[in-house]
Amino acid sequence: MQVLFKNAMLYRDGVFLRGDVLASDGRLVFPVPGGVFPEAVVEDRSVAVFPGFADVHVHFREPGFSYKETIRTGSLAAARGGYTAVCPMPNLDPVPHDLDTLQQELSIIERDAVIRVIPYGAITRDEKGTVLADLEGMAPYVCGFSDDGHGVQDGAVMLRAMERAAAMGKPIAAHCEENDLLFGGYIHDGEYARVHGHRGICPESEWIPIARDAVLAGRSGCAYHVCHVSSAESVEIIRRAKARGVDITCETGPHYLVLNDGMLEEEGRFKMNPPIRAERDRLALLEGLKDGTVDMIATDHAPHSAEEKSRGLAGSAMGVVGLETAFPVLYTELVKPGIIELSRLVKLMSDNPRRRFGLAGEGDFCVWDLDAEYTVDPAEFLSMGRATPFEGRRVNGRCLLTVCAGREVFADASLKEGK
Ligand code: DOR
């Protein structure tokens, strides 16, 4: 397909240039030479061209749980969200904890992925937290190591993992959760839980292990990354560790940046782990984004079946989908009101995750119509997961085209119809 985007914004090295941009069979041409006769011209829309987004925290559920999502559907959903590189977590069956088990996941990726899918290997065997996985065997094929879905409870196990990961120059991405402090909670331990009689998850269950790991990361020299940061205290601990020179980065998700527990409803689509927290936590995360403490945005795209998400806040599975709404939600809620600049959002969704996890992006880009306004409708998702707290929201920003390594992996119907 050859499409000419007239007077578009083009992101290059942290700044925006303006001019006509040609997408020609997966190649980006700028400036556009004379004598070009494209199949379609887009001229009356507010078009922005970004590098492909990268999400270092997704769940694609294969092997093991293909009724929730597959590598095919997950990567198609990612492409529709402007992503060209994603890192799926290893809470699978079998858990990728050595070359044999990892190979099962890699073969499906090789066969079905439409974008760059670079998995994590587990930190411990079966993510049980006791015996270390074959980190060295998996290292050449993974973006890093994680036991996501479970916190590594034993500090000595984590320290050993960090030392070995450091020796190979691979990051550890930690799901920080102290099991002893959960007390059967499933939403934030705050006002909403008290008023509605729910059991709460306290922020300490997250930040105590972050504080432990920040010390161990400093001691081991490991490239340490904190997954889905949700609480104000966590942000402050990470800020201080960075100031001490610890090699620590972190991510947060769109739902933690846009929602607070006052916005919860009695539906499974508002349930994930860690939970949506209080307004003070949300504001602290925004501060962290602005001052660089929060390095990147990851969706924690965690699809489950409709039935698994139909049992209200108490009974539903933990996890919401996010790949197809991340950019529109963040553009609408953070960039349009002037909370962060568009170039910052692109860094948080592309440059920073790629640099930290060494994800290639050559020949990748995505094209957005920033003014397109619509209501988030999960029925339109390419993901098999439909549970999102953003259902029914008005948002701006529609992905028109995603190109990965020079291949068109998503094109919006309006482009194909030449509208
Ligand atoms: O909400 C979540 N869903 N949090 C996790 O830690 C795991 C994830 C999943 O795998 O569904």
For the stretch 335-359, pLDDT in tens is 999 999 999 999 999 999 999 999 9
* 33, 34, 35, 40: CA torsion to nearest 10: 70
pTM score over 0.85: yes
pLDDT tens, residue by residue, 239-284: 999 999 999 999 999 999 999 999 999 999 999 999 999 999 999 9
Catalytic residue, chosen from 300, 351, 364, 412, is 300
Q: What is the arithmetic mean of pLDDT over 174-200?
A: 98
Q: What is the arithmetic mean of pLDDT over 62-77?
A: 98
Q: Render the burial of 398-407: b for 16+ CB within 10 Å, e for the rest.
A: bbbbbbbbee
Bond preceding residue 94 cis, omega within 30 of 0? yes
- Within 253-353, strands assigned E span 296-297
Q: Which atom of ligand 1 is nearest to the CA of 271?
A: 1
Is 300 a known active-site residue? yes
The DSSP symbol for 268 reads G
For tokens 């709404």, what's the residue?
A: 325
CA separation for the pair 130, 41 (Å, rounded)? 58
Instruction: Give the residue ranges of DSSP H helices in 184-229.
Output: 191-196, 204-220
Residue 167 Cβ inside 6 Å of ligand 1? The answer reads no
Q: Examine the pLDDT at 418 and tell me if it is beyond 70.
A: no
Q: How many CA atoms lie within 13 A of 292 on its CB side?
A: 6
- At 121 the three-state DSSP class reads strand
Residue 59 Cβ inside 6 Å of ligand 1? The answer reads yes
Residue 151 Cβ inside 6 Å of ligand 1? The answer reads no
For tokens 């899918």, what's the residue?
A: 117
